[in-house]
Amino acid sequence: MSEFPTRANVVVIGAGIVGNCLVGHLARLGWQDLVLVEKGPLPNPGGSTGHASNFIFPVDHNKEMALLGEQSANQYRDMNLSVDSGGIEVARTSERMDELERRMTSAKAWGIEAHLLTPAQVKELVPYINTEVILGGFYCPTVSVVDSLETGTVMRKEGIEKAGCKVFANTEVLDLITDDTPRPNSRRKIKAVVTDKGTIETQYVIVACGVWSNRIAAMADTYIPLVPAVHQMADVGPIDILAETNNEIGYPIVRDMDTFCYERQSAGSMEVGSYGHRPILHHPDEIPSNEEAALSPTEMPFTPDDFDQQMEEAIELMDMLGDAEIKYAINGLLSLTPDTMPCLGEIPDVEGLWSAAAVWVKEGPGMAQVVAEWMTYGYPRVIDAHGADIARFYDEEKSDEHIWARADEHFNKTYGIVHPAEQWESRRHLVESPYRSRQEALEAEFFQARVWERPQWYNSNADLCERYNLSPRGVEWDNRWWSPTTIGEHLNLRSNCGVVDLSAFQIYELEGPGAVEFADRLAVNKIDVAVGRSIYTPWLNADGGFHSDLTMMRMAEDRVRIVTGVFDGGRDEFWTRKHMPNDGSVTFTNLTTEITTLGLWGPNAPQVLAQVCGHDLSQAGSPYGSIIPIEINCAAGGDNRTVQAHLFRISYVGDTGWEIYTDWSNGPALWDALFAAGQELGIRPTGGGVYGTSGRLEKGYRLMGAELESEYNPLEAGLARPRVKAADFIGKEPYLKARETSPEVQCVTLTVEDQTDSAGRTRHMMGGNEPILDLNGERIVDSHGRVSRVTSAGYGPSVGKHLLMGYLPTEMATAGTELQVMYMNELFPVTVVGPGSAFDPDDTRLKS
Amino acid sequence: MKILCCVKRVPAPGAKINVTADGSDVDAAHLGFTTSPHEECGVEGAVQLCEAHGGEVTVLTVGPPQAAEQLRYAASVGADHGVLVSTDEVGWDPQRTAAVIREAIEVLEEENGEPFDLILFGNESADSGGFQVGIRVAHGLGRPIVNGIKGIEVSGDGSGAGTVTARRAIDGGFEVYELPRPCALGVKEGLNLPRYPTMKGRLRSKKLEIRSLDLDTTPGGQRRIRLHRPAEQVSETVILGEGPEAAAAVVDVLEELGVL
């Protein structure tokens, strides 16, 4: 064993599948001077990797999880440590059969071979299955079983050979030391790792400690939001038909989706695993040490009462299991997060401290690659990992109370049928908007955006359904988490006006002599503009892909405001802090809960506003894109105060109007004044269904996380301006290079020409990565492997068609191109509108 | 034949077992619990005898309410009845335990109208290892008992009058005892290889109706003062090398040990 080092470039904590793959991937990317420390023994230190079921079902509706699962599966294959066993998800209910049709659609999107099977066809592959309890199956031949422990060993060895990685097993981390010198960006810095063998000074520490990760993070006074949760497994056998295969795995793995169980052959036995028992969560301190554990720390004592129902259901599906002996049964621990996604990336509070946690074996190698690339290039190249970015979490999400409540809620949805718009039941109204009491009186249907509640529609507007002759959608799935009232609100806004609560906007200000220069470094478009002007701009990563798109406002000579969406607020704040100069030339302030925003849009918006404000509201007095300080007289709403506000003439819905910014405390008075002024002008509270979906889609406005991802650049997104500013900015060089050639793909809007399915029902795609196919039904994939898929979808009431967005090869991106979209495993004809908008393409309404 | 098996709920072996800070009990925070291994063999032996000759296996335990889990486990591998004498304090001494078991047996036998043909104990419990309870119970009941048993045969169908033949391993062979029924045996691991429960067995055990007996007696003369963990045996692992280069070092060690 080598001498324990006192310095290292990178210290990786944890030698499970993730930590081992990390040192391998870092070595491939040229990193040197790595140290891997592990509390337990090698090769199986006793974490979740050691008892994992080690299978990968490659089809997932979520793009990140699907593609990183596939990436991981391929890495296991490349090491020859994987066997394609095939796998079948069986359905016991008609709802599940619909879900399997949806999985066929996702399989098509990601290019994964899959087949729907009748019960008899399932039995051909799995002769011991009881066909009487199933309605069918979803068969995926490339479901694989991997050797995660050996993979870890191989990757660790690569780290040792290529990068001289020093490995220390049986070495416990006792503390993380940070440099807490106050800095303008409010970030501390990692300095050293203290272990029971000695202290290592370092500038990078990666926490890859699985279920223990948050305990390690706490040593640096920070938080990795995950909770150790029990997944029960029992190994039963011997079973002759399995033993006769003379194989570790000879039959496809069966996922009994409606009972949340799986049955996976393990040589002569069957491993029965469950996500159907009650959620059993543990604090990391409740996990025994290696010495205290009868098996391993994460193989906790089995609680048989929790498993009985699963056993009954397993026997129902495979009668032979009933007479098989339970040779091994555990309460195995795995990691759950508040939103089901992993925790990857640099931890915002502590420079140099990285998280590679809440990663399962099925995506381990891919996620390790993501983190290694992130450290190397500033952002991962293999995929846009914004959904797994640990910076996504708000403070309210970083508490045991939150994680436990959410894990408790979603554990049983591991094999559940989860609607794309499904809302959480627990931990609601974590942040109160100033308008909540008013919105509740208007029977708002709240949707939660991370910790913020936003009215999606108002049930008080149900009368609009009569006015516009609207009815619910015919298919329950399409109608779930949706209301025709949202269409009523849209049409009312287009004819009269509506008020949208935009309090969830994340608002930051940069101030100081270096503020504008720094802002210009973040943004593609020029920020050094006249005071009172706004700039809608992409922020790029170093590779020239999207990090964000947002609005920046020149509020004063030395002050720039940043306004961004709630889903990306955490990431954008972190990106800003990470890059800001620490020489004191710039300060950063988060004003989100000090400033509230209301959107007022529609042809009557100017008339409404004119009643409460004396400013010239014409395009001359309040030009598009301008920010003007004004006073609003709230007397009409019953409050005699005059409030200071900023009018920002902009529109995300396609009709003229403003975002009105004022102090949080003035919000209710402003709300009341606008509604009083608009009473005779058809004003209505208007929900996020119009703002985020129907209004936006009619205008073809791109949304971060949907159309905009790091895999695409501004030229492809149609957001490049004719000229490039002189000032340097992050991603400028690749951006300039991209401008030298025409983009390979373009972001477009499409219309669905016929929504009727084979059963004669009208269907509504949801923007859940439905594949866009050519007229032969073939996938459309560009030279980078990017697949054409639906990034956003929704009905466009003012164009009378269901609208989709997505990227297409440039030659297909022209108006009139006819293509197809798969939804629920059926094909629907679509036509390309083009890169522009389907509604008012010349923007006459919003600039009127 | 009617067989009674006495079992004890004990911490699952294989892990470092901590004691509470005040030394009054085992710290159960990370522990699973199981049936004392000798007694697991006793249950298996009883089930095998009844499978061969017909009859019923009753399992009796004295312990906390959670010890019902061990009764159900026994049922999941074939036992027919379960009896729990609940205790609400830990650390009963062997005299007290034996007295209560004897009393329970008397209650059960009176109800049955006949004695158990055979009573099986574990040779000693896996946790306290007192080696006393079985002998004290048998003595109290006036029945013969032999300890350290690794083989059992019965005459006839095992019921009523007849004999039980028991084998006990000794250096270089084994002793054979013949006991008149009813009698008792203290069995050891090696008597058999206990089966695992089947999934159906486990589900069947859920339906076991556990008979509760509320019995107690005065403590005996042995008291638990406190528990103490002995110092750990430290074993050092030295990696001699990898691959063929390690051969010389291995030879040195073997020579040192006198193997070569």
Check B14 against A292: CB less than 8 A apart: no
Chain A closest CA to B136's CA: distance in Å?
32
The architecture of the domain spanning B2-256 is: 3-Layer(aba) Sandwich (3.40)
Interchain contact B198–A (C-beta under 8 A):
yes
pLDDT of amino acid A787: 98
Counting every residue, how long is chain A? 848
Q: What is the pLDDT of residues A759-782, one digit of tens each?
A: 999 999 998 899 999 999 999 999
Instruction: Out of A286, A294, A323, name the one closest to residue B14 (CB).
Output: A294
Alpha carbon distance A27, A33 (integer Å): 9
Interchain contact A293–B (C-beta under 8 A):
yes
Chain A closest CA to B76's CA: distance in Å?
10
Q: What is the pLDDT of residues A354-408, one digit of tens each?
A: 999 999 999 999 999 999 999 999 999 999 999 999 999 999 999 999 999 999 9
Q: What is the pLDDT of residues A663-684, one digit of tens each?
A: 999 999 999 999 999 999 999 9
pLDDT of amino acid B238: 80
Q: Is A351 helix (H, G, I), strand (E, B) or coil?
A: strand
Check A325 against B195: CB less than 8 A apart: yes
* Contact residues for A368 (Cβ-Cβ < 8 A; gap 6+): A17, A18, A20, A21, A22, A24, A25, A155, A208, A356, A359
Chain A closest CA to B237's CA: distance in Å?
12
Please report the residues numbered 221 through 240 in chain A whose beta carbons come closer than 8 angstroms to any beta carbon of chain B: 234, 236
Interface-testing mutation among B10, B18, B30, with chain A (most A C-beta atoms within 10 A): B30
Instruction: Please give the full DSSP string across chain B, using - where no structure is assigned.
Output: -EEEEEE-EEEPTTS---B-TTSSSB--TT--EEE-HHHHHHHHHHHHHHHHH--EEEEEEEE-GGGHHHHHHHHHTT--EEEEEE-SSS---HHHHHHHHHHHHHHHHHHHTS--SEEEEESS-SSS--S-HHHHHHHHHT--EEEEEEEEEESTTS-SSSEEEEEEEETTEEEEEEEESSEEEEE-TTS--PPPPBHHHHHHHTT--EEEE-------S-------PPPPPP-------SGGGGHHHHHHHHHHTT--
Closest B-chain CA to A319:
B200
Interchain contact A334–B (C-beta under 8 A):
no
Q: What is the pLDDT of residues B176-213, one digit of tens each?
A: 999 999 999 999 999 999 999 999 999 999 999 999 99
Interchain contact A286–B (C-beta under 8 A):
yes
Tokens linked to A356 = 């590679």
**How large is the average pLDDT for residues B111-139?**
95
Chain B closest CA to A313's CA: distance in Å?
11
Chain B closest CA to A336's CA: distance in Å?
21
In this prediction, residue B245 has a pLDDT band, given cuts at 50, 70 and 90, of: confident
In this prediction, residue A834 has a pLDDT band, given cuts at 50, 70 and 90, of: very high
Type of residue at A541 = N
Query: Is the pLDDT at A328 greater than 90, yes or no?
Result: yes
Query: Is the pLDDT at A124 greater than 70, yes or no?
Result: yes
Closest B-chain CA to A316:
B200
Query: Is the pLDDT at A1 greater than 60, yes or no?
Result: no
Query: Is the pLDDT at A125 greater than 60, yes or no?
Result: yes
Which residues of chain B are within 8 Å of residue A326 when distances are taken between CB atoms?
196-199, 202
Check A323 against B198: CB less than 8 A apart: yes
pLDDT of amino acid B97: 95
CA distances to A357, A366, B209 from A31, rounded to whole Å, are 21, 18, 64
In this prediction, residue A689 has a pLDDT band, given cuts at 50, 70 and 90, of: very high
**How large is the average pLDDT for residues A525-536?**
97
CA distances to A242, A344, A710 from A379, rounded to whole Å, are 45, 11, 8
Q: What is the pLDDT of residues A47-105, one digit of tens each?
A: 999 999 999 999 999 999 999 999 999 999 999 999 999 999 999 999 999 999 999 99
Check B15 against A292: CB less than 8 A apart: yes
Structural domain boundaries of chain B?
2-256
Check A301 against B200: CB less than 8 A apart: no
pLDDT of amino acid B15: 77
**How large is the average pLDDT for residues A463-486?**
97
- The more confident residue out of B225 and A401 is A401
Q: Selecting from 3.90.1150.10, 3.40.50.300, 3.30.70.1400, 3.20.20.140, what CATH number does the domain A505-593+719-740 have?
A: 3.30.70.1400
Chain A closest CA to B126's CA: distance in Å?
15
Please report the residues numbered 4 through 63 in chain B whose beta carbons come closer than 8 angstroms to any beta carbon of chain A: 12-16, 18, 29-33
Alpha carbon distance A394, A746 (integer Å): 33
Which residues of chain B are within 8 Å of residue A295 when distances are taken between CB atoms?
14
Q: Are strands A745-752 and A826-834 parallel, antiparallel or unpaired?
A: antiparallel
Tokens linked to A277 = 């028992």
Structural domain boundaries of chain A?
83-144+228-332, 436-501, 505-593+719-740
Chain A closest CA to B84's CA: distance in Å?
19
**How large is the average pLDDT for residues B140-169?**
96
Query: Is the pLDDT at B250 greater than 70, yes or no?
Result: yes
The runs of H, that is alpha helices, within A411-449 are 436-441
Interface-testing mutation among A311, A316, A318, A331, with chain B (most B C-beta atoms within 10 A): A311
Chain B closest CA to A239's CA: distance in Å?
12
Check B30 against A311: CB less than 8 A apart: no
Which residues of chain A are within 8 Å of residue B199 when distances are taken between CB atoms?
234, 236, 311, 314-315, 321-324, 326
Alpha carbon distance A349, A187 (integer Å): 5
**How large is the average pLDDT for residues B45-67?**
97
pLDDT of amino acid A2: 65
Interchain contact A289–B (C-beta under 8 A):
yes
Check A295 against B16: CB less than 8 A apart: no
pTM: 0.94
Alpha carbon distance A761, A474 (integer Å): 7
In this prediction, residue B17 has a pLDDT band, given cuts at 50, 70 and 90, of: confident
Which residues of chain A are within 8 Å of residue B195 when distances are taken between CB atoms?
325
pLDDT of amino acid B221: 81
Closest A-chain CA to B195:
A325
% of residues, chain A, pLDDT over 90: 97
Which residues of chain A are within 8 Å of residue B69 when distances are taken between CB atoms?
304
Across the A:B interface, residue pairs with CB atoms under 8 Å apart total 64
Tokens linked to A149 = 């422990």
pLDDT of amino acid B242: 80
Q: Selecting from 3.20.10.10, 3.40.50.300, 3.40.640.10, 3.30.9.10, what CATH number does the domain A83-144+228-332 have?
A: 3.30.9.10
Check B199 against A236: CB less than 8 A apart: yes
Check B199 against A1: CB less than 8 A apart: no
Check A321 against B199: CB less than 8 A apart: yes
In this prediction, residue A491 has a pLDDT band, given cuts at 50, 70 and 90, of: very high
Which residues of chain B are within 8 Å of residue A308 when distances are taken between CB atoms?
202-203, 206
